[in-house]
Amino acid sequence: METNKIELTPEQKGMLASLAQETGEPVNALIDKALEDLQERLRAARENGAKGRGQQKEKNKPIWEKIVEAGRRIPDEELEGLPTDMAANVDHYAYGLPKRYP
């Protein structure tokens, strides 16, 4: 096995020592975990490359388009259970006051 010499700054050494003491994990295990996490994030970023472009378009949509799309995902049986007098009796539904209009 080839060993590469890695030089750490005093701040990095201090951070590793502090994390090792705090977690009870050896420094090598902490480095392994950090590298695995980094590798996983990079892999996910690559996989989401094409998806990310689609997500960027989603972020640029006006809020009213997002609301309409969200409303379309509500099942019909849920919509049928909503009150039809919501605006007229909003105080009843929001605060429990008596209904103003039957």
Q: Does 68 have pLDDT greater than 60?
A: yes
Are 100 and 91 in contact by the 8 Å Cβ rule? The answer is: yes
pLDDT bin (cut points 50, 70, 90) of residue 55 is: low
Enter the DSSP assignment of 28.
H
- Give alpha helix (H) positions in 3-102: 10-23, 27-47, 49-59, 63-72, 76-80, 90-95
**Residue 30 and residue 16 in contact, taking contact as beta carbons nearer than 8 Å:** yes
pTM of the model: 0.44
